[in-house]
Amino acid sequence: MTDHGAPLPATPRGPLPPPGPPPSTGPTTTLAVRPAETPLGRFWEGYRTPATATQLVGIAVVGLAAAVLVVGHRPGLGVAVVGAAAWAPAVPALVRRRAVVDLLLALVSVALLATVALRDAGWLVALCAVVAAACGAVAATSARSTGSILLSGATWAAGLVRALPWVTRTLAYATGSRRRQALVALRSVAITAGLLLVFGLLFASADRVFASYLPRLSAELLPGQVVVGVMVAALTAALAHLAAAPPAWSELRPGPGRPARPGEWLLPVVALDVLVLGFVLVQVGALVGGHDYVRATAGLGYAEYAREGFAQLVVATALTLAVVGVAARHAPRGTTRDGVVSRVALGVLCVATLGVVASALRRMDLYMEAFGLTRLRLLVVVVEVVLAAVLVLVMVAGLRRGAEGGPFRAAWLPRAVVVTVAAGMLGLAAVNPDALILRHNTTADLEVALDTDYLRGLSADAVPAADGLDEPLRSCVLDVIAHDLPTGVGDWNLSRVLAADVLEAGAPVAADWETCGYGR
- Whether residues 227 and 345 fall in one domain: no
- Grade residue 299 by pLDDT with cuts at 50, 70 and 90: very low
Please tell me whether residues 228 and 274 are part of one structural domain: no
Determine the longest span between alpha carbons in the chain, in angstroms. 135
Are 332 and 265 contacting, i.e. CB atoms less than 8 angstroms apart?
A: yes
328: pLDDT strictly greater than 90: no
pLDDT: which is higher, 319 or 24 = 319
pLDDT > 70: percent of the chain: 77
Model confidence at 288, pLDDT cuts 50, 70, 90, reads: low
Of 358 and 480, the one with more pLDDT: 358
Task: With cut-offs at 50, 70 and 90, classify the pLDDT of residue 301.
Answer: low
- Supply the DSSP symbol for 211: H
**Domain-located, residue 161:** yes
With contact defined as beta carbons under 8 Å apart, do 427 and 382 qualify? yes
- Dihedral of the alpha carbons of 419, 423, 429, 435, in degrees to the nearest 10: -150
For 152-162, write each residue's pLDDT tens digit: 999 889 888 88
Q: Which of 244, 271, 291 delimits the end of a domain?
A: 244
3-state helix, strand, coil in the chain (%, to 5): 70, 0, 30
Structural domains counted in the chain? 3
Answer yes or no: is pLDDT of 225 > 70.
Answer: yes
CA dist 358 → 30, 252, 320, 355 (Å): 60, 35, 15, 5
* 151 or 24, higher pLDDT: 151
pLDDT at 389: 94
The pLDDT of residue 246 is 86
Q: Is the pLDDT of residue 61 over 60?
A: yes
* Residue range 428-453, pLDDT digits in tens: 999 999 999 999 999 988 878 888 88
Lowest mean pLDDT of 3-7, 62-66, 428-432, 502-506, name the range.
Answer: 3-7
In terms of Cα–Cα distance, which of 478, 496, 495 is closest to 487? 496
Q: Is residue 419 one of the residues assigned to a domain?
A: no
> Are 382 and 462 within one domain?
no
CA atoms within 13 A on the CB side of 72: 23
- The model's pLDDT over 341-396, given as tens digits with 9 standing for 90+, comes to 888 888 899 998 898 888 888 878 878 887 889 998 899 899 989 999 999 998 88
| pLDDT tier at 175, thresholds 50, 70, 90 | low
Question: Measured between alpha carbons, how far is 451 from 409 in angstroms, rounded to an integer?
Answer: 51
Q: Which residues contact 486 (CB under 8 A, 6 or more apart)?
A: 74, 76, 492, 493, 496, 497
Tell me: do 104 and 223 sit in the same domain: yes
The answer to the question of residue 475 being in a domain is yes
Torsion from C-alpha of 197, 201, 207, 209, nearest 10 degrees: 60
The span from the CA of 209 to the CA of 207, in Å, is: 6
Pair (295, 381) in one structural domain: yes
- Give domain status of residue 294, yes or no: yes
What is the rounded average pLDDT of the residues 278-285?
79
If one compares 16 and 213, the residue with the highest pLDDT of the two is 213
Q: How confident is the model at residue 482 (pLDDT cuts 50, 70, 90)?
A: low
**Eight-class DSSP state of 216:** P
Same domain, 196 and 276: no
- Taking the C-alpha atoms of residue 48 and residue 34, their distance in angstroms, rounded to an integer, is 17
Residue 429 lies in a domain: no
Q: Quick one: DSSP state of residue 480?
A: T
Confirm whether 271 is domain-assigned.
yes
> Are 386 and 450 found together in one domain?
no
Flag whether pLDDT at 46 surpasses 80: no
Computed from CA positions of residues 215, 216, 217, 223, in that sequence, does the dihedral angle turn out positive or negative? negative
Residue 307 has pLDDT above 70, yes or no: no
| Least confident residue range of 32-46, 187-201, 501-515 | 32-46
Q: Tell me, yes or no, whether 53 and 100 share the same domain.
A: yes
Average pLDDT over residues 488-510: 87
Rounded to an integer, what distance in angstroms lies between the CA atom of residue 144 and that of residue 418?
10
State which of 11-20, 224-233, 260-269 shows the largest mean pLDDT. 224-233
* Side-chain-side CA neighbours of residue 230 (13 Å): 6
92, 203: one domain: yes
Q: What are phi and psi for residue 274, nearest 5 degrees? A: -65, -45
Annotate 280-316 with DSSP letters as a single string. Answer: HHHHHHHHHHHHHHHHHHHS--HHHHHHHTHHHHHHH
Clarify whether residues 230 and 338 are in a common domain.
Answer: no
Average pLDDT value for residue range 169-191? 68
Q: Single out the residue of 41, 22, 44, 45 nearest to residue 33, CA to CA.
A: 41
**Has residue 254 got a pLDDT over 80?**
no
pLDDT value for 517: 65
Cis peptide before 472 (omega within 30 of 0): yes
H helix runs in 11-121, sequence order? 39-45, 53-69, 77-85, 91-96, 100-113
Assess whether 55 and 153 both reside in one domain.
yes
Residue 2, pLDDT above cutoff 50:
no
Highest mean pLDDT among 97-101, 199-203, 505-509: 97-101
Same domain, 209 and 278: no
pLDDT of residue 436: 96
Q: What is the pLDDT of residue 101?
A: 92
Residue 510 within a domain: yes
- What burial class does residue 473 get, using C-beta atoms within 10 Å of its C-beta: 0-12 exposed, 13-18 middle, 19+ buried? middle
Highest-pLDDT range among 14-18, 36-40, 219-223, 361-365: 361-365
Please choose, from the candidates 458, 476, 482, 480, the residue with its C-alpha nearest in 3D space to the C-alpha of residue 512: 476
pLDDT at 62 over 90: yes
Q: How far apart are CA 254 and CA 260, in angstroms?
A: 17
Average pLDDT, the chain: 80
- Predicted pLDDT of residue 16: 43
Residues 248 and 42 sit within 8 Å (Cβ to Cβ): yes
Amino acid at 381: V
- For residue 74, is pLDDT > 60? yes
Q: Does position 215 have pLDDT exceeding 90, yes or no?
A: no
Q: How far apart are CA 391 and CA 351, in angstroms?
A: 8
CA–CA distance, 344 with 352 (Å, rounded to integer): 12
Residue 28 belongs to a domain: no
334 pLDDT tier (thresholds 50, 70, 90): low
Closest-CA residue to 480 (of 507, 505, 509)? 509
What residues make up the domain containing 294?
262-406
pLDDT on residue 296: 46
